[in-house]
Amino acid sequence: MKLNQGTLMSEHAVAVVVERPMQLHLRELPLATPTDNDLVVETCWSGISTGTEKLLYSGRMPIFPGMGYPLVPGYESVGRVVQAGKSTNYAIGEMVFVPGAACYGEVRGLFGGAASRVVIPALRALRISESLGERGTLLALGATAYHAFSAATTTQPELIVGHGVLGRMMARIAVESGSKPVVWETNPARREGAVGYSVVDPEEDTRSNYRCICDVSGDPLILDQLIARAAPNAEIVLAGFYDEPMSFSFPPAFMREVRIRVAAQWKPAELIAVRDLVECGRLSLEGLITHRSNPAQAEEAYRTAFNDPSCLKMILDWRQTQ
């Protein structure tokens, strides 16, 4: 689609639309009328998720609230406030993180952040420092990693499975908390970039007494492999997203009395906590964004994000559509 600069007013946005599985286009969509409690945000950057968005694109997304086509994906956006309702405490020009939007009429917003402009309740936005720039798109993944081990009763993982962006973020948070986890990664190209922790091929790791294991691989067949490496009374945390039923052999889990926990969606307080860790310099987001694209090449960008092992995080730069 050729972007029509003359019609990009507050009432419209150019958005990535997954029309149906395996079919993605840019479309100009009408936006909901903002209320006194809403912000209108011009998007600067949005990230492409290789987990949930890949499932949406491929049509393998399990039944999920709001699921259906056509839809606007995206929950990792950063933009600038261009209109603020009188009941909000935001000012024009502030930089905010946007965890998605539902403002496109009949086109579903799941999760709705991959657009040149969005209308969202002010309570959903999060102020961020100008210095974060495009790296602010990574805050949702940081909050996902933080959520898995933020409760006072949890311990940091000793083993993390997967060295994509989420695995790296989880390892960095663990190191910041004083731990030195081991990360499993089967792809040799993804074993670089560790600071304060080690990344190994699981076939070369002989340890079988991990007290806390966290899987971010999304592999529905992995439980037996993890249980075999667990210590007695260990905890296995499932922090990926799994599109098929999971099962495990009972006797090994019984003998170890293993606990299995699912880490779900982050909470707003955890997003704030991660932002604060980043802005005070305790959590680095460097080296995680590897690819960038113009939204006009969105279809190619999504395919690269989903299929190129060298792509940790793909960013769409929306500033050219404003």
CATH code at position 75 = 3.90.180.10
Does residue 152 share a domain with residue 115? no
Q: Sign (positive/negative) of CA torsion 120, 282, 49, 320? A: positive
Count the domains in the chain.
2
DSSP 3-state of 256: helix
pLDDT of residue 224: 98
Assign 3-state DSSP to the chain and report helix, strand, coil percentages, each to 5: 30, 25, 45
Q: What is the residue-averaged pLDDT of the chain? A: 93
Q: What is the pLDDT of residues 185-242, one digit of tens each?
A: 999 999 999 999 999 999 999 999 999 999 999 999 999 999 999 999 999 999 998 9
What would the two tokens of residue 276 be?
């604060």
Does residue 122 share a domain with residue 146? no
Does residue 105 share a domain with residue 16? yes
pLDDT of residue 7: 36
pLDDT of residue 10: 60
The CATH number of residue 148's host domain is 3.40.50.720
pLDDT of residue 9: 45
Does residue 294 share a domain with residue 190? no
Question: What does the radius of gyration of the chain's CA atoms come to, in whole angstroms?
Answer: 20
Does residue 251 share a domain with residue 197? yes
How far is residue 286's CA from residue 273's CA, in Å, rounded to a whole number? 18
Res. 265: pLDDT tops 90: no
How far is residue 114's CA from residue 72's CA, in Å, rounded to a whole number? 6
Contacts of residue 193, defined as CB under 8 A and 6 or more positions apart, other chains included, come to: 163, 168, 199, 287
What one-character DSSP code corresponds to residue 115?
B
Domain presence at residue 276? no
The answer to whether the CB of 11 falls within 8 A of the CB of 31 is yes
Between these two residues, 9 and 10, which has the higher pLDDT value? 10
Domain presence at residue 165? yes
The answer to whether the CB of 98 falls within 8 A of the CB of 39 is no
The answer to whether the CB of 136 falls within 8 A of the CB of 182 is no
Does residue 204 share a domain with residue 302? no
Does residue 96 share a domain with residue 10? yes
pLDDT of residue 126: 98
The answer to whether the CB of 215 falls within 8 A of the CB of 162 is yes
Domain presence at residue 268? no
Does residue 146 share a domain with residue 115? no
Does residue 46 share a domain with residue 17? yes
Does residue 110 share a domain with residue 13? yes
Domain range spanning residue 122? 5-127+290-321
The answer to whether the CB of 75 falls within 8 A of the CB of 126 is no
Residue length of the chain? 322
Contacts of residue 88, defined as CB under 8 A and 6 or more positions apart, other chains included, come to: 36, 37, 38, 39, 122
Q: What predicted TM-score, i.e. pTM, was given to this entire model?
A: 0.92
Domain presence at residue 198? yes
Which of 140, 123, 41 lies closest to 89, judged by CA?
A: 123
Domain presence at residue 234? yes
Final residue belonging to a domain, choices 262, 277, 306? 262
Domain presence at residue 147? yes
Domain presence at residue 278? no
pLDDT of residue 296: 95
Does residue 202 share a domain with residue 114? no
Final residue belonging to a domain, choices 262, 280, 300? 262
How far is residue 221's CA from residue 67's CA, in Å, rounded to a whole number? 25
Instruction: State how far the alpha carbon of 310 is from the alpha carbons of 162, 188, 314, in Å.
Output: 14, 10, 10
Instruction: State how far the alpha carbon of 95 is from the alpha carbons of 4, 125, 194, 234, in Å.
Output: 25, 10, 30, 42
Domain presence at residue 267? no
Q: Sign (positive/negative) of CA torsion 126, 128, 133, 137? A: negative
pLDDT of residue 322: 67
Element (H, E) at 261: strand 259-262
pLDDT of residue 273: 97
Does residue 226 share a domain with residue 200? yes
How far is residue 192's CA from residue 48's CA, in Å, rounded to a whole number? 21
Percent of the chain topping pLDDT 70: 97
Final residue belonging to a domain, choices 262, 279, 299? 262
